[in-house]
Amino acid sequence: MESIQAVRGMNDILPDQVGWWQEVENAAREVLENFGYREIRTPVLEKLELFARSIGESTDIVEKEMYAFEDRNGERLALRPEATASIVRSYVQHGLHADSAVRKLYEIGPMFRHERPQKGRYRQFHQIDAEVFGIDSPMIDAEMMHMLRVFLDRIGISGVVLNINTLGCPECRKTYREILKDFLTAKGDQFCPDCLRRRETNPLRVFDCKVERCQALLESAPMLIDHIDEECRAHFDAVKDYLEKLGTRYVVNPRIVRGLDYYMRTTFEVITDRLGSQNAIGGGGRYNGLVRDLGGADVPAVGFAIGMERLIMLLQQEQSEKVRMPRFFVAGLGEQPRAAAFLLVQQLRGLGLEAEMDYEGRSLKSQMRRADKSGARYVIILGEDEMSRREIQLRDMQTKTQRILPLDNVEDELKQLRD
């Protein structure tokens, strides 16, 4: 019978890869909580309307990429393609705006988009998402980008560039939209079919196009940053000033528009040149009207998301493979020593020490081979003679040295070898 394979674009994370994921997740929690963020966990399945109203019905995500369906009751549902809308929905539903302590939230988890799988882009992918509610100051925009830089430094990601832009306010974009549409219309049918469609439904989306011909045509396109009002320009200038004060380097990139309709004013992406066409590893911006549009109070908000798969690809390029290895391997030789080895392994684990053993009663030679293959730093040898003398033999697999330790209270000795 033919074996069943995973759904295309939805990948298993195997044991020898999990260490990378744990490192990134743990560092994210440490940094985010240090900046005052609190974790939230939302469902992966939401009402389709949530994403149509928040992301925008004319975006590629809603039109082409969402996993959307009707359930048995005829309700239209979707697997979440991003986290912001779900977090805002939860923020509104549970009245979190009334709790002044809940202003900074983060979530780590899977998202889903039905698009062509390729390196760094999958149908089930994972994001670290951070959101701030109720603060309109450009100071928090700068702090969020600075925090993102702190996180990347924390996990050892280098060679990335922070690109920033401003999308102005809805009034700015209303005026600019007509200017851009006139430019696109003047170019006739030179753009690809997707861009011609976007010209009518959402002209700003043309800047997302990856077709080289379209990118070349857009070189002479008018930029939104040149058509924003004084208030929006002052906000953007303040963001840049705070970034400079924090020592967070950036590049102003007028072409960044992001793929979601809810953004306004500050928008940003973290770009790398080491992942081919999938060069953005994270991004975000301000979305002041979204909470109101989803039925909540009219509170400002700003947030970002980071793609974990792309982060881990970068880490793997920069560091050696991270496999979780036991610190100690306990070899029991004989029935009674094996029972004692079993108890010792559990004691070591209870102390927070990584320990493994052979449960099958193999020979010492076989157990030493397994210990070496597991990557254990130390092997504890416990045979009949050692049991009678109430001692163990401790072998350092790195230096190839061996010494004898008393069995009683041996945990205290082994704790010294934790690092």
What pLDDT digit, counting tens, does each position of 187-217 carry? 777 878 877 887 777 777 777 777 888 888 7
Residue 376 has pLDDT above 90, yes or no: no
Q: What DSSP string runs through 75-136? A: -EEEE-S-SHHHHHHHHHHTTGGG-TT--EEEEEEEEE--S--BTTB-SEEEEEEEEEES--
Render pLDDT for 150-188 as a digit per residue (tens, 0 to 9). 999 888 887 788 999 998 888 887 788 888 888 878 777
Task: Average the pLDDT over each of 42-51, 191-200, 317-326 and give the range with the smallest value.
Answer: 317-326
Mean pLDDT over residues 228-243, rounded? 92
Q: Give me the helix-helix angle, 138-155 and 230-246, nearest 10°.
A: 40
Residue 149 in tokens: 């830089």
DSSP 229: -
The share of the chain scoring above pLDDT 90, in percent, equals 28
pLDDT range class, residue 60, cuts 50, 70, 90:
low
**Average pLDDT for residues 129-156, to the nearest whole number?**
92
Q: Of the given ranges (191-195, 206-210, 218-222, 363-367), which has the lowest mean pLDDT?
A: 206-210
Report how far residue 277's alpha carbon sits from residue 64's, in angstroms, rounded to the nearest whole number.
20
Looking at residue 288, what is its pLDDT?
87
| Full-model pTM | 0.74
Query: Looking at residue 243, what is its pLDDT?
Result: 94
pLDDT at 321: 46
Mean pLDDT of all residues belonging to the chain: 84
User: pLDDT for 347-359, tens place per residue?
Assistant: 888 878 888 888 8
Q: Please name which of 312, 307, 304 lies closest in space to residue 106, comparing C-alpha atoms.
A: 304
**How far apart are the C-alpha atoms of 398 and 326, rounded to whole Å?**
14
| Distance, CA of 261 to CA of 280 (rounded, Å) | 18
Task: Find the helix or strand (DSSP H, E) in which 163 lies.
Answer: strand 160-166
- Predicted pLDDT of residue 235: 93
Residue 229 pLDDT > 80: yes
Q: How big is the chain, counted in residues?
A: 419
pLDDT value at 118 more than 70? no
Q: Please tell me the distance from the alpha carbon of residue 7 to that of residue 11, in angstroms, as a whole number.
A: 8
* Other C-beta atoms lying within 10 Å of the C-beta of residue 370: 18
Amino acid at the residue 66: M
Q: For each of the domains in the chain, give its residue range(s) and CATH number, in order of start.
A: 15-169+228-318 (3.30.930.10), 328-415 (3.40.50.800)
Residue type, 343: L
Tens of pLDDT, residues 244-295:
999 899 999 888 876 566 778 899 998 876 665 557 788 899 988 888 888 8
Collect all residues with Cβ–Cβ distance below 8 Å to 249 and sequence separation of at least 6. Answer: 161, 162, 243
Band of pLDDT at residue 419, cut at 50, 70 and 90: low
Which pLDDT score is estimated for 187? 76
Amino acid residing at 275: L
Map residue 37 onto helix, strand or coil. coil
